[in-house]
Amino acid sequence: MNDYVTPYEAKKTTPEKIAQHVESGWVCGSDIGLSAPPGIIAALDEHVGEKDLADVYYHTLLDWLPMGAYSEEYPGITGVSWFSGGFARKAVNQGIADVMPSYFRDMPSLIGEQNQIDAIFLAVAPMDEFGNFSTGPSAALSEALLKKAKRIYLEVNNHIPRSVTGPVVHLSDVEALCENHVKLPDYPRPELDMVSKQIASYIAEEIPDESVIQFGIGAIPDAVGLALREKRDLGIHTEMLTESMVELIDAGAVTNEKKTLHRGQTVASFAFGSKRVYDFIHENEALTMLPIQYINDPSIIRQIPSFMSINSAIEIDFFGQVCAESMGTMHFSGTGGQVDFVRGAVLSPGGKSFLAFPSTAKDGTVSRIKAILSPGAIVTTSKNDVNYIVTEYGIANLRGKTLGQRTKALIDLAHPKFREELIFEAKKRNIIL
């Protein structure tokens, strides 16, 4: 058997010394969420500031920790967000960071088209006996990044779960590595309010036994997970593995035994949120972690009968145009996988796509159902792709409905205090009589 301990020790250094490799003009990045290594990133910020580096770019997806790339205190490094968390969102709106418009499924190919990626920094599980490091809960873009990057730097963390499948990095391909055994974030789950529970109840009624599901995190997905516990033989094919999904598996509602693809397997591309999820991933042979270009490919999703996709939105207009990534001109997130799953679910035999959200925002002062989208709002899901819309006031399938029929259905889903105004706007535009 090969001895990997000696070369491991030879490449082991500190986060500070890894950061010192970075030079002005470098383009760097990490995979989604927990892939971003906190020790190296903190050291990189200090290095950029101390050496007065310029034009360093760091690409992220679902940023979860503070970093100089999204802070005005470090002008030498600029963040590029492919899907924003809170730090990137704030920085983009301040004008000190940039965004990359993209469908989630297209991100690996766009990485391959980048002119340069000088270095990637990945948080990984400890090395196995064959010299491999598992990227654990982050399988979305790692494969594409590993192929493109000129240099690979690792931060080994024994709290990172080792996935049985998913990308691996071999020691021989690593420029340098460090160890930083810090606990992963364990985010508190939102309290389920009556609005979320009501929305979830409408969705659950539309999901039959043996369906295959996809959803994310938040109050509404958590409520949907709770509402699905009495279902039987559900399957999971999702970009994001969540705690509510693990709960459905533990409750016996998810068995994956009726799936036509990856029978018996929970299939995901990344995980984020709780220790329970990370523990579920570790060496679990019933979990398949795959790159996002496969997970989110509508041509793959459409092959899965009764595929049920549940996502959120910020607002919708009478035509059924859905904005899920901006508040007017204010940046909020990104397209992510919403359109991937909307299209795939609609094409699936018996499949359905649900876009669910409370009827109002800003403490009930603003209707999310509008005659026209807010000025500058980004259209995420087009009027031609939209399927089921759900608020606490009901559920409506917009596919196959005319503009007038859609408008009437959406007004019925709006908060009662806004319906008269919406009817007035519809009549003024001669949409309804």
Residues of the chain with CATH 3.40.1080.10: 5-179
Across the chain, mean pLDDT equals: 96
pLDDT band at 190 (very low <50, low <70, confident <90, very high): confident
pLDDT digits (tens, 9 = 90+) for 135-148: 999 999 999 999 99
User: What six digits make up the tokens of 75?
Assistant: 């002008």
What average pLDDT does the segment 424-429 reach? 97
- At residue 337, the pLDDT reads 95
- In whole angstroms, give the CA distance from residue 359 to residue 416: 10
- At residue 91, the pLDDT reads 97
Assess whether pLDDT exceeds 80 at residue 14: yes
List the catalytic residue out of 143, 239, 243, 325. 239
Cβ pair 15, 39 in contact under 8 A = yes
- In whole angstroms, give the CA distance from residue 175 to residue 421: 62
Phi, then psi, of 378 in degrees rounded to 5: -85, 130
Q: Which CATH number fits domain 194-428: 3.40.1080.20, 3.40.50.1000, 3.40.50.970, 3.90.420.10?
A: 3.40.1080.20
What average pLDDT does the segment 294-299 reach? 97
- In whole angstroms, give the CA distance from residue 80 to residue 58: 6
Q: Give percent of the chain above pLDDT 90.
A: 96
Q: Which residues contact 426 (CB under 8 A, 6 or more apart)?
A: 318, 371, 407, 411, 432
- In whole angstroms, give the CA distance from residue 14 to residue 40: 8
- In whole angstroms, give the CA distance from residue 433 to residue 428: 9
The sign of the dihedral angle between the CA atoms of 369, 374, 377, 379 is: positive
The sign of the dihedral angle between the CA atoms of 192, 198, 199, 200 is: positive
- At residue 167, the pLDDT reads 94
Give residue for tokens 């503009």.
403
Query: What CATH number does the domain located at 5-179 have?
Result: 3.40.1080.10
- At residue 189, the pLDDT reads 85
What average pLDDT does the segment 416-420 reach? 98
pLDDT digits (tens, 9 = 90+) for 75-126: 999 999 999 999 999 999 999 999 999 999 999 999 999 889 999 999 999 9
Assess whether pLDDT exceeds 90 at residue 2: no
List the 315-317 sheet strands across, edge first.
322-323, 315-317, 369-370
Residue 308, SS3?
strand
Residues of the chain with CATH 3.40.1080.20: 194-428
pLDDT band at 433 (very low <50, low <70, confident <90, very high): confident
- In whole angstroms, give the CA distance from residue 35 to residue 249: 25
Q: Considering the entire predicted model, what is its pTM?
A: 0.95
Cβ pair 314, 327 in contact under 8 A = yes
Indicate if 239 belongs to the active site: yes
User: What six digits make up the tokens of 378?
Assistant: 């980004």
pLDDT band at 291 (very low <50, low <70, confident <90, very high): very high
- At residue 217, the pLDDT reads 83
- At residue 386, the pLDDT reads 98
Nearest to 391 by CA among 431, 361, 362: 361
Assess whether pLDDT exceeds 60 at residue 59: yes
Nearest to 390 by CA among 224, 240, 211: 224
pLDDT digits (tens, 9 = 90+) for 142-172: 999 999 999 999 999 999 999 999 999 999 9
- In whole angstroms, give the CA distance from residue 265 to residue 254: 10
What average pLDDT does the segment 318-326 reach? 97
